[in-house]
C-alpha cells in the first residue's frame, strides 16, 4: 500500500513528485524519498517520518532535473528508517527504484547477490530488485526489466530510472496497482490517480502483468514478455477528494472493498496448497516451544479482541491448545494465571494501543514470550514483542476497522494451522482441506461483496431503528459481536450481540414487534440449534435477516430475508460473514447522515489508557 509517483517532463520535478506524494500520503506514511537524474547523476533524498520531513530536507538540499521518482512508504520488510526508505540504489549508483508490494523470494536472491559481490544498505526486500537490475543489466533498461521480472516472485509495482537512460522511466505492474498519466510533452506514473489529477485527467490504467516505457513525448505499454499492448485512454471525471478514495464516497467503503487484496497479501508466501503447509518463517518460534505450549492468552481491545475470540476457536479446534481471550485494559489488573509455557498473543492494528502495550510489558516482565499480530512494522508492539506476525492490510484511514480485522483473522488462521501441524494435531487430509480453504479466502471475500445491494436495501429499511440485535452460536457468536460493534460505532444505533442459546435466559424480553435481528447460521453442526433460536425471536415479532451459506435454501422458510454467502471451511466462516455486517453498518450510517469515516467521540488509535 505504498505510494509511488514518477515524472518526466519540463516541470520542477521536486514540486511534481513531492506534491503527488502528498496526495498519496494516505497510502503510507512512515518514510518517504525522491530520486532524480540531474547533470548525469542520480540525486537521492530520503527521510523517516511524515512527508514534511522530506520536504524540509529538500529545502536544505534541493534536487533538480527533469526525470524523477518518489515514494511514501508503509513498511513490510524492515523498520521505518532513512536506510529502509525508498528509492533504493544499486552499488554503482546507476539505477534507482521504488516499489509497492512484496518480493517473496528476496532472501534467496539476496544471498545470491551477496555472493556475487553486492553490498546491501537496507533490510528491505526492495533493495534486492535494484541490485538484480545491476546484475542483469545488458545496456537496455527495458529488456533488463523483462529479465528481472522472470527472477522475482510476488506482487509488485516497480518504477526504475537509470542515469544511462535519462530520457525514460520504466514501470512494471504485477498484482499491485499502477496508472500512467498522459500529458503534453510530459508523462507521469503513479500508484493511484490522485497523484496526477493536478496535471492530467487522461489515464492509462495498467493491468496486471503489464509494463510501460515513458519518455516526455510517448508512453508504450507491453506485456511482461515484451509484447506491445494497445491501451485505451480513461478519462477521470472524479474530483480530487473522491480520487483519493478511489471513487468511493467514503474511505470505509473503499477499505471494505480492499479486503480481498488485503487478505491475499497477508496470505501470500505463507500458504502453500501444493505442499499442504503453512510457512511462517518470520514467526521465530521453534517446534519444541510450540509443542511445549500449555496455554495461550490473547490480549486485545475492541475489534482486535473480537478477532481474538475467533482465533481462540480456531486454535483450540485445530491445535488443541487452551486459549483465554482477555480485554487488554483488564488483563494486567487480573493477576492472570500463566506458566513458563504460556504464549501471550497481543493483537493491535496500530501497534500503539496503550492498554495492549501495557499488557505486553507486564507479561514480558514476568518472563513470558509475547507474540504481536500488528499491521505496522515499526510500531511499539512490533519492536517490543519477542515475535511478530505482520498483517499486510496497508493503511486504514476510516476509524471503524474493516480490513485490519479480516487480516487479523487471516493471521490467526495461519497461526492455528501452523501450530496444529507442528504439534501433530491435524491429519494430512484435514490440513490439506484447511490450507486450500485458506488459499481461497480472497475469492470468497470477493464473492461476498456481491451481496452489497441486498444489504443496502435492508439498511435503508431499518436505518431508523432504535435497537438491532445480532445472534449466533459458537464461532458465529464471535463474529456477531463484531457486527454489533460496527453498527454501534458508526450508525449510533443501539446494537447488542447475544449467544443465540442464551436468549431464553433473559434477553428475549428485549425482542419486540418489528425489531431487526441479524441471525448468523454458518456452522453446520449448530445450524438446527440456531434455527430453533430464530424461531424464538420470530415468535416475538422480530424481523430477521439471516446469513447462511449458498445452497441452504431452507433458512428462507424461517427468516424474513436471507443473505447467501459462499461456502468455506466452517472455522473460516467469520471472515465471510463479517463483510455483510460491515456493509450493513456502513449503509445504515450513510442513511442516517453520519460522518462515516470519523464517528463521534472515537479515534483511530487509542494511545492513552
Rg of the chain in Å (alpha carbons): 25
Mind listing the pLDDT tens digit for each residue in 327-342?
998 887 888 888 999 9
**Cα separation, 382 vs 373, whole angstroms:** 8
| Residues ≥6 apart with Cβ < 8 Å to 249 | 242, 590
- Is 50 exceeded by the pLDDT of residue 608? no
- Percentage of the chain exceeding pLDDT 90: 69
Mind listing the pLDDT tens digit for each residue in 295-351?
999 999 999 999 999 999 999 999 999 999 999 988 878 888 889 999 999 999 888
Question: Quick one: average pLDDT of 518-536?
Answer: 90
User: E strand or H helix at 577, and its extent?
Assistant: helix 573-591
Question: Quick one: average pLDDT of 91-101?
Answer: 93
Instruction: Identify whether the C-beta of residue 148 lies closer than 8 Å to the C-beta of residue 126.
Output: no
**Catalytic entry in 2, 221, 231, 301:** 2
Q: What phi and psi values does residue 325 have, to the nearest 5 degrees?
A: -115, 120
Confidence grade of residue 603 (pLDDT, cut at 50, 70, 90)? low
- Is 80 exceeded by the pLDDT of residue 49? yes
Task: Quote the cell numbers at residue 24.
Answer: 498519496
Instruction: Identify whether the C-beta of residue 417 lies closer than 8 Å to the C-beta of residue 434.
Output: yes
| Cut 0.85: pTM above it | no
Domain positions in the chain are 3-244, 248-439, 446-609
Q: How far is CA 508 from the centre of its chain?
A: 38
Q: Can you tell me which residue has the cell 473480537? A: 306
Say which residue, 176 or 163, is predicted with more confidence.
Answer: 163
Active-site residue flag, 14: no
Nearest to 460, CA basis, from 414, 498, 491, 415: 491
- Is 80 exceeded by the pLDDT of residue 606? no
Instruction: Note the pLDDT of residue 27.
Output: 60
Say which range, 42-46, 130-134, 392-396, 416-420, has the weakest mean pLDDT: 392-396
Question: Quick one: average pLDDT of 62-73?
Answer: 93
Instruction: Identify whether the C-beta of residue 338 lies closer than 8 Å to the C-beta of residue 295.
Output: yes
**Cα separation, 108 vs 112, whole angstroms:** 6
Per-residue DSSP letter, 175: B
Query: What count of Cα atoms within 13 Å lies in the side-chain half-sphere of residue 489?
Result: 22
- Is 70 exceeded by the pLDDT of residue 582? yes
Domain 446-609 in the same topology as domain 248-439: yes
Superfamily for domain range 3-244:
Aminohydrolase, N-terminal nucleophile (Ntn) domain (3.60.20.10)
Q: Can you tell me which residue has the cell 484447511? A: 434
Task: Quote the cell numbers at residue 114.
Answer: 551477496
3-state secondary structure of 118: coil
Instruction: Note the pLDDT of residue 448.
Output: 96
- Is 60 exceeded by the pLDDT of residue 434? yes
Instruction: Note the pLDDT of residue 607.
Output: 42
- Which CATH number is associated with domain 248-439? 3.40.50.10490
Confidence grade of residue 28 (pLDDT, cut at 50, 70, 90)? low
Say which range, 64-73, 372-381, 583-592, has the weakest mean pLDDT: 372-381
| Residues ≥6 apart with Cβ < 8 Å to 461 | none
Superfamily for domain range 446-609:
Glucose-6-phosphate isomerase like protein; domain 1 (3.40.50.10490)
Mind listing the pLDDT tens digit for each residue in 549-566?
998 888 999 999 999 999
Mean pLDDT of the chain: 91
**Cα separation, 280 vs 299, whole angstroms:** 21
Active-site residue flag, 235: no
Question: Quick one: average pLDDT of 76-84?
Answer: 85
Question: Quick one: average pLDDT of 83-94?
Answer: 94
Instruction: Note the pLDDT of residue 378.
Output: 67
Question: Quick one: average pLDDT of 254-268?
Answer: 94
- Is 90 exceeded by the pLDDT of residue 159? yes
Confidence grade of residue 235 (pLDDT, cut at 50, 70, 90)? confident
- Is 50 exceeded by the pLDDT of residue 123? yes
Q: Can you tell me which residue has the cell 525508498? A: 86
Instruction: Note the pLDDT of residue 536.
Output: 86
Task: Quote the cell numbers at residue 275.
Answer: 505442499
**Catalytic entry in 163, 461, 488, 604:** 604
Task: Quote the cell numbers at residue 396.
Answer: 486504514
Question: Quick one: average pLDDT of 503-525?
Answer: 84
Confidence grade of residue 532 (pLDDT, cut at 50, 70, 90)? confident
**Cα separation, 206 vs 209, whole angstroms:** 8
Confidence grade of residue 605 (pLDDT, cut at 50, 70, 90)? low
- Is 60 exceeded by the pLDDT of residue 594? yes
Amino acid at each position: 500500500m505504498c505510494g509511488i509517483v514518477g515524472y518526466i517532463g519540463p516541470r520542477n520535478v521536486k514540486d511534481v513528485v513531492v506534491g503527488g506524494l502528498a496526495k498519496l500520503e494516505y497510502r503510507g506514511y512512515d518514510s518517504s524519498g525522491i530520486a532524480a537524474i540531474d547533470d548525469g547523476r542520480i540525486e537521492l533524498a530520503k527521510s523517516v517520518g511524515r512527508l514534511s520531513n522530506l520536504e524540509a530536507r529538500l529545502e536544505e538540499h534541493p534536487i533538480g532535473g527533469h526525470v524523477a521518482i518518489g515514494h511514501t512508504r508503509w513498511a513490510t520488510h524492515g523498520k521505518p528508517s532513512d536506510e529502509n526508505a525508498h528509492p533504493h540504489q544499486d552499488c554503482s549508483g546507476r539505477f534507482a527504484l521504488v516499489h509497492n508490494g512484496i518480493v517473496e523470494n528476496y532472501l534467496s536472491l539476496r544471498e545470491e547477490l551477496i555472493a556475487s559481490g553486492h553490498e546491501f544498505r537496507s533490510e528491505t526486500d526492495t533493495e534486492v530488485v535494484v541490485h538484480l537490475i545491476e546484475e542483469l543489466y545488458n545496456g537496455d533498461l527495458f529488456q533488463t526489466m523483462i529479465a528481472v521480472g522472470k527472477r522475482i516472485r510476488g506482487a509488485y509495482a516497480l518504477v526504475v530510472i537509470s542515469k544511462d537512460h535519462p530520457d525514460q522511466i520504466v514501470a512494471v505492474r504485477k498484482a499491485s496497482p499502477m496508472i500512467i498519466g498522459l500529458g503534453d510533452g510530459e508523462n507521469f506514473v503513479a500508484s493511484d490517480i490522485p497523484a496526477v489529477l493536478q496535471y492530467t485527467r487522461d489515464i492509462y490504467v495498467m493491468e496486471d502483468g503489464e509494463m510501460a516505457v515513458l519518455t516526455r513525448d510517448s508512453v508504450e505499454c507491453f506485456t511482461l514478455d515484451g509484447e506491445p499492448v494497445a491501451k485505451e485512454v480513461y478519462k477521470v471525471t472524479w474530483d480530487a477528494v473522491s480520487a483519493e478514495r478511489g471513487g468511493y464516497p467514503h474511505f470505509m467503503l473503499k477499505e471494505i472493498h480492499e479486503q480481498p487484496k488485503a487478505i491475499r497479501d497477508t496470505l501470500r508466501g505463507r500458504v502453500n496448497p501444493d505442499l499442504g503447509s503453512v510457512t511462517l518463517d518470520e514467526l521465530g518460534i521453534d517446534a519444541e516451544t510450540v509443542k511445549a505450549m500449555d496455554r495461550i492468552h490473547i490480549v486485545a481491545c475492541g475489534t482486535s479482541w473480537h478477532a481474538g475470540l475467533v482465533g481462540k476457536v480456531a486454535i483450540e479446534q485445530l491445535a488443541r491448545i487452551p486459549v483465554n481471550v482477555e480485554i487488554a485494559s483488564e488483563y494486567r489488573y487480573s493477576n492472570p494465571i500463566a506458566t513458563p509455557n504460556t504464549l501471550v498473543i497481543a493483537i493491535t492494528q496500530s501497534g500503539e494501543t496503550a492498554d495492549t502495550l501495557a499488557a505486553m510489558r507486564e507479561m514480558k516482565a514476568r518472563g513470558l514470550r509475547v507474540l504481536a499480530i500488528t499491521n505496522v512494522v515499526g510500531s511499539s508492539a512490533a519492536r517490543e514483542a519477542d515475535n511478530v506476525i505482520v498483517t499486510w492490510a496497508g493503511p486504514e484511514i476510516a476509524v471503524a476497522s474493516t480490513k485490519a480485522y479480516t487480516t487479523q483473522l487471516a493471521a490467526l488462521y495461519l497461526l492455528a494451522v501452523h501450530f496444529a501441524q507442528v504439534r501433530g494435531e491435524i491429519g494430512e487430509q484435514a490440513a490439506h482441506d484447511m490450507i486450500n480453504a485458506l488459499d481461497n479466502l480472497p475469492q470468497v471475500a470477493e464473492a461476498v461483496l456481491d451481496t452489497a445491494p441486498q444489504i443496502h436495501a435492508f439498511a435503508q429499511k431499518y436505518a431508523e431503528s432504535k435497537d438491532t440485535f445480532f445472534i449466533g452460536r459458537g464461532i458465529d457468536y464471535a463474529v456477531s459481536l463484531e457486527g454489533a460493534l460496527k453498527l454501534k460505532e458508526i450508525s449510533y444505533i443501539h446494537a447488542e450481540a447475544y449467544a443465540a442459546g442464551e436468549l431464553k435466559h433473559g434477553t428475549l424480553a428485549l425482542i419486540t414487534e418489528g425489531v431487526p435481528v441479524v441471525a448468523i447460521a454458518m456452522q453446520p453442526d449448530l445450524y438446527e440449534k440456531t434455527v430453533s433460536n430464530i424461531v424464538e425471536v420470530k415468535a416475538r415479532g422480530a424481523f430477521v435477516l439471516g446469513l447462511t451459506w449458498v445452497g441452504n435454501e431452507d433458512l428462507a422458510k424461517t427468516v424474513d430475508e436471507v443473505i447467501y454467502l459462499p461456502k468455506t471451511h466452517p472455522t473460516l466462516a467469520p471472515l465471510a460473514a463479517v463483510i455483510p455486517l460491515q456493509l450493513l453498518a456502513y449503509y445504515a450510517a450513510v442513511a442516517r447522515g453520519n460522518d462515516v469515516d470519523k464517528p463521534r467521540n472515537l479515534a483511530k488509535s487509542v494511545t492513552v489508557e
